[in-house]
Amino acid sequence: MAALDLPGVPVQLLVRQRAVAAPEATAISWSDGCVSARDLDRHAARIAAALTGLAGRPIAVRVPAGPARYAALLGVLRAGAVLLWSGTGATGERGRGILEAMCPAAVLTGGTGDELSTWYSGRAGVPLIDVTDLPDATAAEPDVPLEAWAYIAHTSGSTGRPKGVPQTHAALAQFSNWFAAEFGLAPGVRVAQWVSPDHDPALCETFATLVSGAVLCPVPEPIRAHPGRLLAWLAAERIDVLQTVPSFARQLLAESTERSKAPLPLRQLLLMGEAISESLVQGLRAAAPEMAVANLYGPTETVAATWYRIPATSQGVIPIGRPIPGRDVLLLDESDRECPPGTVGEIVVRSPYVTPGYLGDQPGNPAFRAVPGAGSGPWYRTGDLGVRRDDGLLEFRGRRDQQVKIQGHRLELAEVESMLLEQESVVECAVLAVTGTDGIVAKLAAYVVPRDEPCPAEWRAHLRQRFGEVMLPMTFRTVPNALPRNETGKIDRRLLADLGQQQPAHPAAGRVSSAEDASR
């Protein structure tokens, strides 16, 4: 196994050490002004004192964007409690289901509490604690072992029901320290906190910044999902590092280059969560040749697994790279044998930072089944497909559950999307399988945000060059502005399928065109 880089200190203690060493240094930059490391530490101490006696219990953090949100995260960890962090806008059944399943002992708010917080407090009889209105106080902090849970993230399974994924203090500290060291986070470096709280990379970018002494710059909510506003904000705030998903990076690139806006003002762009197309990388290189670009891969169950710094001369498929320290990554066939270079297999991760399992899950989940004869675990079978090149780099080849069989041929939906994105007329796209009443895939549906006028005939011809006649049973639907996205910033495929069937207006995606190209 690769060097473990085993951490010896939890992140909340590392942040305190920064406050002691450089109390006046800026920890958080916000529209209302800067927050020093000392003031952040004092605010976290007040919150930890308010949580006395709740060590080991989940605490929900639903504080609006701003310095108080990050003091709340630190305060929960300092109290020895378990973080359950989400944004303040998730008021639907998903948010209610998570709170009911996790039973947090308190909900931290930034005022009176949002609708979901108030609903849960009344239902469960737990306190709403306004972190912006607490008296000065300190309390003895429990000794938190590294193997204790630090946070619980949630990822949707095939049923659409959120699965609780606990991670330890060791996992959070190890990845935060690696992230900070690898990407040069240090005092004075300004890091955007863009990722939604509902997505666990938000915690990683937050604590990697704070433990390194860099400046955390939360993106205001009205700006976060608007590419034009975010581009201007990045320049005005002199942001050095941004982590985002490739599909949103493509929108930033379009704002930067095609609409005569300011160039991308970043030193480093970190891409995660989705496959990266060659055309996106080429566009980024042309727009910002000095900007470093990296690809991070890994499921929530492992925090992350691999990474790759994309060179300026990169062409073809963009690799997901090599294992992050503390992880072994294997490619296994259906008989659990290691796949030779050039052969597609399932990506399997062995690491002490693999989650101990899903909350409430029955023992023996096959996703965590050990690999016979391959050493001790823990193991996680990702369901993702990959191939190892002759140079040892890994390439992502989609998911097992996104492979479809159509007209007797197996196709990977991510590969179809990648081919469509090569077209200049395509801003972004998603391809879904459409099944008949017998459950067999009858056709593919491509949802496309066109640059100008839709060009379905051109798109179909391009796909035929790659896939041949197997691609004939395919329809194209145009979506204005942008595809719908979930709380994590990824394309919401479930909602997209519903839009295709019902064709209602949607604030994020506009209206799916009812005039679809269905030619054969």
pLDDT in tens, 298-338: 999 999 999 999 998 888 889 999 999 999 999 999 999 99
Which of the given ranges, 75-84, 473-482, 509-518, has the highest pLDDT on average?
75-84
Indicate whether 259 pLDDT > 80.
Answer: no
Percent of the chain residues past pLDDT 90, beyond the cut: 60
| Model pLDDT, residue 251 | 86
Q: How many CB atoms lie within 10 A of CB 369?
A: 14
517 has a pLDDT exceeding 90: no
What span, in angstroms and rounded, lies between the C-alpha atoms of 325 and 307?
Answer: 10
Burial letters 75-113, b for 16+ CB under 10 A, else e: bbbbbbbbbbbbbbbbeeebbeebbebbebbbbbbbeeb
pLDDT digits (tens, 9 = 90+) for 169-215: 999 999 999 999 999 999 999 999 999 887 899 999 999 999 999 99
Please give the pLDDT value at position 487.
65
How many percent of the chain have pLDDT more than 70?
Answer: 87
pLDDT of 260 over the 90 cut: no
Cα 31 to Cα 67: distance, rounded to the nearest angstrom = 10
Integer Cα distance of 209 and 27 in angstroms:
9
Determine which helix (DSSP H) or strand (DSSP E) holds 410, and give its type and residue range.
strand 409-412
Q: What is the CATH number of domain 407-511?
A: 3.30.300.30
Q: What is the pLDDT of residues 451-498, one digit of tens each?
A: 888 999 999 888 877 665 555 578 899 998 889 887 667 788 888 887
CA dist 243 and 307 (Å) reads: 13
pLDDT at residue number 184: 97
Q: What is 321-399's CATH superfamily?
A: Luciferase; Domain 3 (2.30.38.10)
- CATH superfamily for domain 11-168: ANL, N-terminal domain (3.40.50.12780)
CB 302 within 8 A of CB 355: yes
Residues 6+ apart with CB under 8 A from 90: 116, 198, 487
Give pTM, 2 decimals.
0.81
Neighbours of 141 (CB within 10 A): 18
For residue 508, pLDDT over 50 is answered with no
Residue type, 438: D
- Cα separation of 39 and 84, whole Å? 23
State the chain's mean pLDDT as an integer.
Answer: 87
pLDDT value of residue 502: 57
The percent of the chain in helix, strand and coil, each rounded to the nearest 5, is: 30, 25, 40
The CA-based diameter of the chain, rounded to the nearest angstrom, is 71
| DSSP 8-class letter at 53 | T
> Residue ranges per domain, the chain?
11-168, 321-399, 407-511
Given a cut of 80, is residue 269 above it in pLDDT?
A: yes
Closest CA to 51 of 120, 117, 138: 138
pLDDT at 504: 37
**Token pair belonging to 94:** 């998903």
Query: Are the beta carbons of 485 and 492 closer than 8 angstroms?
Result: yes
Question: pLDDT grade, residue 509 (50/70/90)?
Answer: very low
Q: Above 90 in pLDDT, residue 59?
A: yes
pLDDT in tens, 339-361: 999 999 999 999 999 999 999 88
Taking the alpha carbons of 26, 28, 29, 34 in that order, is the dihedral positive or negative? negative
pLDDT of 95-123, one tens digit each? 888 899 999 999 999 987 788 999 999 99
In this prediction, residue 463 carries a pLDDT of 85
In this structure, what token pair is assigned to residue 146?
């590294």
